[in-house]
Amino acid sequence: MLSEILQKLGHEMDPAMNGQDSLENIAFNPPECMLLDNLMLIMDGLQTLQAPQARNIKLPIIMLTADIEEWLKTRCLERSATTFLNKPVKLPHLQEA
């Protein structure tokens, strides 16, 4: 649903089904920005979050999660997330990020 909204706003999207797929996508075609959910199959958001930095790929990463635990927000920001947004994300907050 979020992909559809962002596409209607004129953004190109390259959705991935899991953390591993997203890393394969950015290795060949680095995006301008990455939206990353914490709950994903194969690799969760925290694991996926570290990979671009380890590969020396610099890009803004927006973490999205329904989890409201403060430790998760802190950990994501420590691991190079640019912004942390709780779901359901409000479009103005996403556009601001």
Please give the Cα distance from 44 to 5 (Å, whole number): 24
Per-residue pLDDT reduced to its tens digit, 1-28: 777 778 888 888 888 888 888 888 887 8
- DSSP class of residue 79 equals T
Please give the Cα distance from 63 to 36 (Å, whole number): 5
Distances (CA, A) of 1 to 4, 5, 61: 5, 6, 19
- pTM, rounded to two decimals: 0.81
Domain limits, the chain: 2-96
Burial of 34 per CB tally in 10 Å (0-12, 13-18, 19+): buried
Euclidean distance between the first and the last CA atom of the chain, given in angstroms as a whole number? 18
Q: Which fold has domain 2-96?
A: Rossmann fold (3.40.50)
Per-residue pLDDT reduced to its tens digit, 24-66: 888 788 888 888 888 888 888 888 888 777 777 788 989 888 8
Please give the Cα distance from 71 to 90 (Å, whole number): 22
